[in-house]
Amino acid sequence: MSSGTQQRGGLPVMVLKEGSQRTTGADARRSNIMAAKVIAEILSTSLGPRGMDKMLIDAFGDVTITGDGAAILKEMEVQHPAAKLLIEVAKAQDAEVGDGTTTAVVLAGRLLELAEELLDEGIHPTIIIDGYKKAMDYAIQVANEIAKPINVEDKNQLALVAMNSLSSKIVAEARDYLAKIAVDASAIAVEKVGDKYNLDLDWIKIEKKKGQSLFETQLIQGIVLDKEVVHPGMPKRVVNAKIAVLDAPLEIEKPEWTTKISVSSPQQIKAFLEEESNILKSYVDKLAEIGANVVITQKGIDEVAQHYLAKKGILAVRRVKRSDIEKLAKATGAKIVTSIKDIKPEDLGTAGLVEERKVGEEKMVFVEQCPNPRAVTILLRGAADRILDEAERSMQDALHVIRDLYRDPRIVPGGGAFEMEIARRLRDWGRKLPGKEQLAVLKFAEALEHIPTILALTAGLDPVDAIAELRKRHDAGEFDAGVDVLSGKVENMAKINVVDPLLVKTNVIRSAAEAAIMILRIDDIVAAAQTKTGGTSKSKSESGGEEGESKSSE
Ligand code: ADP
Ligand code: MG
């Protein structure tokens, strides 16, 4: 480590600002590799259905228990820039294909670890980078060759793949059931354009409610709001609903500062209150006049307005999340109105039925038979909040996997079989390459074998024996041989239906290789002096910013 001061003709010249830290060459590279390895190591024990969960406690003391790679990384606060870089890559993987995050990070970590061995042997990073790039391209090419097509019109085939992504132990008992719901929801939401399918996951809303068990989870055609009808005098069920969807309050907004109104007589108070009441009444009259029999707003509805709405026989719901308001508008064909004064009949949406129903101990509002039939809600039920949270994460993985299959309906064997086969072919091909690049390609193959190695470890198998057997069977032409972590044996993955979408796997290879290459390319770290107050508080607000809408505003 050197500072920003350089000697020139005996005089020290300040190049970097005072307090800057500079790390160069091998030191920089090693410090980065070390950081990436730590992240990969943390995640590796969570890989696969027998992986371990992590308990994460945030700065506010909130606890998350999860085995989901993306969720673990989201909660983890890291300091090292290279570790941050790896987390960015994982997030990109999650956004792109929604699954394979753990695998991508573990693979990137292993690629770097093995690159370090080559560095130790004196091989220049540029050669390693070139070798890794070639290996990545070849691996993706081979992946396309060995992938097999499935028929996405066949729900059973989709469900079999989706099931594998529901690998979290917490939801394991209900895997078949939840996979079927994910497939049914997707089949409703998917749009066929020509011979292509487009599944927009925005159409699929997930709501969580405590209940007896995950097996009570239901699929509802329409939108379910975690809200009650606002006033007991209102109807609880409206057939042929005409729905006003508002981003406007039905209350007189209180000024932000305390104001003093001087009144000199009881008449003046009365007049003042009457004025308020009249404004609210005029809003309600307007809504009734254009034919609305359901009012759903993002903002509040005060008691006076509730009273008038009830008198008109209008069902009203208040303080609905913004994302739900948007979904409602899309599903019912409503326009989101921000000023009640200007609302027109054509702004109203429609639904065959709007009804408040009891779900467990609480009430929810169901908006069904919408003109846009693609809107669906998965109403997750489970015995505890932590189960529901993990079920939601798993359900998201399953939905993403289904979306991937609609995009590209090809699958590869799971349980490390895919990685073993790619590794085998990379070795055969790499041996023909000249010089030191060959070494990098062979390391790439070795890194891929790390995935079955970890799966074997989580299944309590001896990893050396397992890899030896896998190599033997792959050499004999059994492409589908992998680790069945549930039975703890080397098995034919196609036979036991452990398969992954091709899209997830090619993305894993690409993002892991690109992350490793990016980190290997860095040979200079220049860190500005830390400001006294900076650092931790900033990173907290960054990670907190993404949430927001998951907390309801009630
Ligand atoms: P990721 O975040 O990378 O998706 P997961 O924890 O979901 O990590 O693990 C995915 C890996 O587990 C894949 O390689 C998949 O093939 C494998 N897998 C899933 N089910 C099984 C199973 N029953 N036996 C062996 N491997 C499995
Ligand atoms: Mg997964």
Atom of ligand 1 nearest to the CA of 496: 23
CA 130 vs CA 33, 179, 201, 223: distances in Å: 18, 41, 38, 51
Q: What is the maximum span of the chain, computed from C-alpha positions, in angstroms? A: 99
Is residue 546 over pLDDT 50?
A: no
Give the predicted TM-score (pTM) of the model: 0.81
102 lines ligand 1 (CB under 6 A): yes
* Model confidence pLDDT, tens digit, residues 316-349: 999 999 999 999 999 999 999 999 999 999 999 9
Residues 6+ apart with CB under 8 A from 357: 363, 364, 365, 366
Residues 423/445, Cβ–Cβ less than 8 Å: yes
For a mutational test of ligand 1's pocket, the pick from 54, 167, 421, 492, i.e. the residue with the most ligand atoms closer than 8 A to its C-beta, is 167
Residues with catalytic function:
68, 101-102, 397
Is residue 244 over pLDDT 70?
A: yes
125 lines ligand 1 (CB under 6 A): no
CA separation for the pair 389, 65 (Å, rounded): 9
CA 120 vs CA 370, 412, 427, 430, 439: distances in Å: 64, 35, 22, 21, 13
Least confident of 14-23, 83-92, 297-306, 308-317: 14-23
CA separation for the pair 534, 527 (Å, rounded): 14
Least confident of 25-29, 118-122, 214-218, 453-457: 25-29
Buried b (16+ CB within 10 A) or exposed e, 267-286: eeeeeeeeeeeeebbebbee
Residues 133/122, Cβ–Cβ less than 8 Å: no
Residues 206/549, Cβ–Cβ less than 8 Å: no
- CA 354 vs. chain centroid, Å, equals 30
Task: State the CB neighbour count (10 A cutoff) for residue 105.
Answer: 32
CA 223 vs CA 247, 293, 332, 374, 540: distances in Å: 18, 17, 10, 10, 33
Is residue 229 over pLDDT 50?
A: yes
Residues 347/241, Cβ–Cβ less than 8 Å: no
- In the reported structure, the alpha carbon of residue 102 is separated from the centroid of ligand 2 by a whole-number distance in angstroms of 7
**Bigger pLDDT: 195 or 107?**
107
**Bigger pLDDT: 433 or 5?**
433
What percent of the chain lies above the pLDDT cut of 70?
89
421 lines ligand 1 (CB under 6 A): no
| Burial of 257: CB neighbours in 10 Å, binned 0-12, 13-18, 19+ | exposed
pLDDT at 548: 38
pLDDT at 456: 95
Is residue 549 over pLDDT 70?
A: no
Strands (E) located in 10-116: 11-14, 21-24, 54-57, 63-66
Residues 79/72, Cβ–Cβ less than 8 Å: no
pLDDT at 188: 94
85 lines ligand 1 (CB under 6 A): no
486 lines ligand 1 (CB under 6 A): yes
CA separation for the pair 324, 229 (Å, rounded): 16
Closest Cα to atom 25 of ligand 1: 415
Could you give phi then psi for residue 192, rounded to 5 degrees? -100, 120
| Of the candidates 116, 64, 168, 88, the residue with the CA atom closest to the CA atom of residue 396 | 168
Split at pLDDT 50, 70, 90, the class of 516 is very high
Rg (CA), the chain: 29
* Model confidence pLDDT, tens digit, residues 76-108: 777 778 888 888 888 888 888 888 999 999 999
pLDDT at 547: 39
What percent of the chain lies above the pLDDT cut of 90?
60
Helix (H, G, I), strand (E, B) or coil at 223: strand
DSSP annotation of 344 reads: -
The mean pLDDT value of the chain amounts to: 87
Residues 94/431, Cβ–Cβ less than 8 Å: no
Counting ligands in written order, the one closest to the CA of 102 is 1
Closest Cα to atom 26 of ligand 1: 415
pLDDT at 434: 80
CA separation for the pair 259, 245 (Å, rounded): 32
485 lines ligand 1 (CB under 6 A): yes
Is residue 441 over pLDDT 90?
A: yes
Residues 6+ apart with CB under 8 A from 533: none
Least confident of 17-26, 391-400, 449-458: 17-26
Counting ligands in written order, the one closest to the CA of 456 is 1
103 lines ligand 1 (CB under 6 A): yes
* Model confidence pLDDT, tens digit, residues 124-176: 999 999 999 999 999 999 999 999 999 999 999 999 999 888 866 677 888 89
CA separation for the pair 380, 477 (Å, rounded): 43
Task: State the CB neighbour count (10 A cutoff) for residue 397.
Answer: 26
The residue-averaged pLDDT of 423-441 equals: 92
Atom of ligand 1 nearest to the CA of 68: 2
| Of the candidates 199, 165, 179, 176, the residue with the CA atom closest to the CA atom of residue 69 | 165
Locate all alpha helices (DSSP H) within 290-374, ordered by sequence.
Answer: 303-311, 322-332
Is residue 38 over pLDDT 50?
A: yes
CA separation for the pair 251, 305 (Å, rounded): 7
Split at pLDDT 50, 70, 90, the class of 6 is low
Is residue 269 over pLDDT 90?
A: no
CA separation for the pair 5, 25 (Å, rounded): 17
| Of the candidates 474, 496, 466, the residue with the CA atom closest to the CA atom of residue 49 | 496
- Residues counted in the chain: 554
Closest Cα to atom 21 of ligand 1: 415
Split at pLDDT 50, 70, 90, the class of 399 is very high
**Bigger pLDDT: 535 or 478?**
478
pLDDT at 15: 67
Closest Cα to atom 4 of ligand 1: 100
Beta bridge partners of 223: 367
Q: What is the DSSP string of 458-521?
A: HTT--HHHHHHHHHHHHHTT-TTEEEETTTTEEEETTTTT-EEEHHHHHHHHHHHHHHHHHHHH
Residues 61/54, Cβ–Cβ less than 8 Å: no
- In the reported structure, the alpha carbon of residue 102 is separated from the centroid of ligand 1 by a whole-number distance in angstroms of 9
